[in-house]
Amino acid sequence: MIAAADKTPRAYSPSKDNLRNLLLIRGIALLGQTAVLAYVLLVSRTTQSLLGVTLSLCVLAAITAASLWRTTRPWPVADREFLAQLLVDVIGWTALMYFTGGANNPFISYYIVPVVIAAAVLPWRYTWLVALASMLAYSLLLYVYQPFPLFTPHSAMGHGDGANVHILGMWFNFLFSVGLITYFVVRMAAILRREEEEAARRREARLQNDQIMAVASLAAGTAHQLGTPLSAMTVLVEEMRHAQQQDSALQADCELLQSQLEQCKQTLSELSRTAEFTSVQETRKLPVEDFARQTLQRWAVRRPGTNYRFECAANSPIIETDTTLSQAIENLLNNAADSGSPELAMSVNWDANQVHIAIRDWGPGVAPELIENLGKPMLHAHRSGLGIGLMLSQATVERYGGTIELRNMPDGGVLAAVSLPITVAGTQGSS
């Protein structure tokens, strides 16, 4: 599940590569300030007022070196760590600007860099935090700073009105730029993220449709190919029944075989009809209780000896169904039965908009990665019965506007919950 605290789509996420790039930018900025410091030493031949800026450069360089070492460690880069690095930039740059003329220093515009990086990489709330920190630092440096000979040569006499207007204009331009960048870059990053996610969904949908069509073609061909051997087996079983009329046990076995063969022929017939007609032509409206009960009973005939129970309240609503939807439910029942569970349970309930069909088993459960990748084109089964059938069930239920959810239960087993839209509110009672 995605945390509700931050639902804003993002173009990128913090990573070691992003952190290395940030440290590289910081290193370049520090080299620029070191060059300024060297120029002042060369021109003025004095170290007066340079202690603070030298210490600030050394501390920032040490933090940068430690951060570079950190990028060699296997720990992932989290949002908060990346935010902390950006705030280090803001605080460290504020110290450098304080000792080198404050807002008079032309390098004051570097504050825009952490804002742009935050807007591209971090969630919006962190981006605004970096932006507010940068604006506050810039505003304080208008009035709180130590004069620096290179950038404030007339500090002893005070600033003229023209200089003050120019510095205030730079400050206003910075605030305006930060606001625009923070707002619009976050929006553009969100748009890029949505476009990437939509393109990925389309690719997955195409791949899933290709796989489903391949399975459907194979199933239709298999249905026709199995018709002849099933007919032959039906004739042979009938002859065995007549030849062994005195053996009651063999007669019972033959009757069971014959009923199973009839079920196979009926299934193949339904499969052939499904391949020949569109889902719109085959769709019918049915109370959800009748649909679920009939599907369960039809499945139970094919899985003799399986213990199951069914629960549904009276006055069940009506849903739209077809053969493929029944098969989707049967696939989930097969998965539950294949888990080795001693018993299965199917329950039906509903709310104002949807019906919920829950299939519960008490088997060993399923791997978490299968639950996370439910509905994706490629599923690697970790339990017998899971895989292509589950993918087809998901595709079928989604075609009806529904969803499938798998959950490992605390007391063991799996709950498969199918949600489908209601067509007509409850009109029939429980049978």
Of 119, 94, 118, whose CA–CA distance to 108 is shortest? 94
- pLDDT score for 268: 67
Contact call for residues 345 and 357 (beta carbons, < 8 A): no
Q: Is 202 left (phi over 0), alpha (psi -120 to 50) or beta?
A: alpha
Beta-bridged to residue 407, according to DSSP, are 415
Q: How far apart are CA 331 and CA 231, in angstroms?
A: 25
Quickly state the pLDDT bin for 222 (edges 50, 70, 90): low
Which whole number is the average pLDDT over 18-26? 85
Which whole number is the average pLDDT over 283-297? 87
| Chain segment 305-350, per-residue pLDDT in tens | 788 899 998 888 888 887 778 888 888 888 888 888 888 999 999 9
- pLDDT score for 157: 39
Q: Is the pLDDT of residue 359 over 50?
A: yes
- pLDDT score for 159: 44
Contact call for residues 166 and 174 (beta carbons, < 8 A): no
Which of helix, strand or coil describes residue 148?
Answer: coil
| Chain segment 245-282, per-residue pLDDT in tens | 667 777 777 777 777 777 777 766 666 555 554 444 45
- pLDDT score for 150: 67
Quickly state the pLDDT bin for 153 (edges 50, 70, 90): low
Give the CA distances from residue 171 to residues 109, 154, 266, 423, in Å, rounded to whole numbers and listed in that order: 9, 20, 80, 61
Cβ neighbour number for residue 93 with a 10 Å cutoff: 27
Find the farthest-apart pair of alpha carbons in the chain and give their distance in angstroms, rounded.
125
- pLDDT score for 388: 65
- pLDDT score for 374: 66
120-123's contacts with Cβ under 8 Å and 24+ in sequence apart are 120/11, 120/12, 120/185, 120/189, 121/10, 121/12, 121/13, 121/14, 121/18, 121/82, 122/10, 122/14, 122/79, 122/82, 122/83, 122/86, 123/6, 123/8, 123/10, 123/79
Question: DSSP string covering 226-267, please?
Answer: HHHHHHHHHHHHHHHHHHTTT-HHHHHHHHHHHHHHHHHHHH
Percentage of the chain modeled with pLDDT above 70: 69
Higher pLDDT, 262 or 11: 262
Q: How far apart are CA 312 and CA 328, in angstroms?
A: 19
Higher pLDDT, 398 or 182: 398
Q: How far apart are CA 75 and CA 81, in angstroms?
A: 11
Q: How far apart are CA 405 and CA 388, in angstroms?
A: 16
Q: How far is CA 175 from the centre of its chain?
A: 35
First vs last Cα of the chain: how many Å apart? 38
- pLDDT score for 356: 92
Which of helix, strand or coil describes residue 354?
Answer: strand
The overall average pLDDT reported for the chain is 76
Of 201, 197, 182, 198, whose CA–CA distance to 123 is shortest? 182
Higher pLDDT, 377 or 147: 147
Q: 83-92, 338-347, 422-431 — which is least confidently predicted?
A: 422-431
Cβ neighbour number for residue 109 with a 10 Å cutoff: 13
Which amino acid is it at 418? V
Q: Is the pLDDT of residue 413 over 80?
A: yes
Global confidence as pTM:
0.47
Max avg pLDDT among 83-92, 97-106, 139-148, 363-372: 83-92
217-224's contacts with Cβ under 8 Å and 24+ in sequence apart are 219/271, 219/275, 220/271, 220/272, 220/275, 223/268, 223/271, 223/272, 223/275, 224/272
Which whole number is the average pLDDT over 178-188? 68
| Chain segment 34-52, per-residue pLDDT in tens | 887 888 778 766 656 678 8
- pLDDT score for 278: 45
Full strand arrangement of the beta sheet holding 424-428: 284-287, 316-321, 424-428
Q: How far apart are CA 144 and CA 102, in angstroms?
A: 7
| Chain segment 386-412, per-residue pLDDT in tens | 456 677 777 788 888 888 888 888 888
Residue at token pair 């370049």: 28
Higher pLDDT, 204 or 292: 292
